[in-house]
């Protein structure tokens, strides 16, 4: 037997880019359909243009926004165990990779044979991959621009040893789906990783209403700006004429549904045009922009079981704010 390299780090990685957004529903179509509904709504994936992604990173650093730093602390503490459970020669697929800061911890310890970040914003993805390639010159990256709120079929990545596929889905972004939608999404993940494949997923936990509402309506108004950027984006990209100052950010925790809802509330009777159509707003009428569902550990494990994921391990912080699950496709 010829001894292989002691570590993947002795190799040189390749970076490839794929775009799977071709043929996807457009921003314009979704905005028009969303504003025509009785409860106006726009899907949260449209938050993340270049400006929105920047604002999201600013949210992650806010004192009130506990999820990012709590999840980082949990992951840092258990990353050796996570890497050991995932094993060698992993193809690591990340959904909504964003700026890729959380990924660094895991990539550093896991040394995956291939890293596949999936991200809706091409600019954000390019920048994150550039930074990763500098930090980890040995890392093979196949970057995919895609919308993971719809089914995705990844291309075949050939020529790279893969013993196991794993999906990394941090940030509690799974909370943007309703529980029913989350089950459907997880079924897709299970099909992607195959039997014995793994899922490492961050899930925000139920807690005090005041703490939750502060996290989604911070004192500096960064979350408000993030939410209102959606209207700016419609004006910029779709030639809309929203008077953004005539709307306000609204976020509340619905205890019945265990979820944060974010809305853009019209302060006046007014109208705005998009794509040649006129949309009327009553005072107090809202555009629903996001849900962020919260679970107990057991609730999330039961939900994942419906998608035939076995809950192998779960880690939380001492205060029980956030959870990181390792699940295995059965």
Nearer to ligand AVJ by Cβ, of 117 and 175: the residue is 175
User: Is residue 117 within 8 Å of residue 100, measured between CB atoms?
Assistant: yes
The least distance separating ligand AVJ from the CB of residue 157, rounded to whole angstroms, comes to 26
Q: Which is nearer to ligand AVJ, 142 or 172 (CB)?
A: 172
CB of 56 to ligand AVJ, least distance (A): 6
Residues 112 and 142: beta-carbon distance below 8 Å: no
- For residues 66 and 303, give the distance between their C-alpha atoms in angstroms, rounded to a whole number: 24
Whichever of 91 and 173 has its CB closer to ligand AVJ, that residue is: 173
What's the CA gap between 53 and 226, in Å, rounded?
Answer: 9
List the end-to-end C-alpha distance of the chain, in Å, as a whole number.
34
**What one-character-per-residue DSSP string does 294-315 give?**
-B-HHHHHHHHHHTTEEEEEEE
Three-state DSSP class for 274?
A: strand
Question: By beta-carbon distance, which residue lies closest to ligand AVJ?
Answer: 292
- Identify which of residues 111 and 217 has a Cβ nearer to ligand AVJ in the complex: 217
Q: Which is nearer to ligand AVJ, 89 or 225 (CB)?
A: 225
Chain residues binding ligand AVJ by CB under 6 A are: 59, 67, 171-173, 175-176, 216, 223, 290, 292
Structure tokens belonging to residue 236: 């910029």
Q: Give the nearest distance from C-beta 264 to ligand AVJ in angstroms.
A: 13
CB of 46 to ligand AVJ, least distance (A): 12
Give least dist CB 204 to ligand AVJ, A.
7
| Contact indicator for 271, 247 with CB cutoff of 8 Å | no
């Amino acid at each position: 037997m010829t001894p292989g390299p002691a570590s993947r780090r002795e190799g040189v990685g390749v970076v490839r880019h794929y775009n799977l957004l071709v043929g996807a529903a457009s921003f314009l179509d979704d905005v028009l359909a969303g504003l025509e509904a009785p409860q106006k709504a726009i899907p949260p994936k449209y938050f993340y243009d270049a400006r929105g992604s920047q604002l999201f990173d600013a949210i992650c650093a806010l004192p009130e926004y506990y999820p990012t730093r709590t999840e980082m602390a949990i992951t840092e503490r258990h990353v050796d165990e996570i890497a050991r459970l995932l094993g060698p020669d992993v193809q690591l697929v990340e959904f909504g990779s964003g700026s890729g800061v959380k990924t660094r911890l895991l990539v550093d310890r896991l040394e995956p044979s291939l890293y596949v970040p999936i991200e809706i914003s091409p600019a954000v993805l390019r920048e994150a991959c550039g930074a990763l390639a500098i930090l980890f010159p040995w890392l093979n990256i196949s970057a995919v621009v895609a919308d993971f709120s719809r089914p995705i079929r990844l291309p075949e990545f050939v020529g790279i040893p893969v013993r196991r596929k794993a999906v990394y889905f941090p940030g509690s972004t799974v909370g943007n789906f309703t529980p029913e939608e989350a089950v459907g999404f997880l079924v897709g993940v299970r099909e992607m990783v195959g039997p014995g494949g793994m899922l490492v997923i961050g899930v925000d936990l139920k807690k005090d209403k005041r703490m939750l509402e502060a996290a989604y309506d911070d004192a500096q108004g960064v979350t408000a700006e993030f939410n209102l950027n959606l209207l700016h984006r419609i004006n910029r990209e779709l030639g809309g004429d929203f008077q953004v100052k005539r709307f306000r950010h609204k976020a509340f925790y619905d205890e019945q549904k265990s979820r944060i809802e974010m809305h853009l509330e019209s302060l006046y009777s007014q109208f705005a045009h998009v794509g040649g159509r006129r949309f009327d707003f009553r005072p107090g009428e809202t555009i629903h922009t996001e849900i962020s569902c919260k679970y107990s550990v057991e609730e999330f494990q039961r939900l994942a079981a419906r998608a035939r994921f076995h809950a192998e391990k779960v880690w939380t912080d001492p205060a029980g704010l956030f959870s990181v699950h390792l699940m295995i496709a059965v």
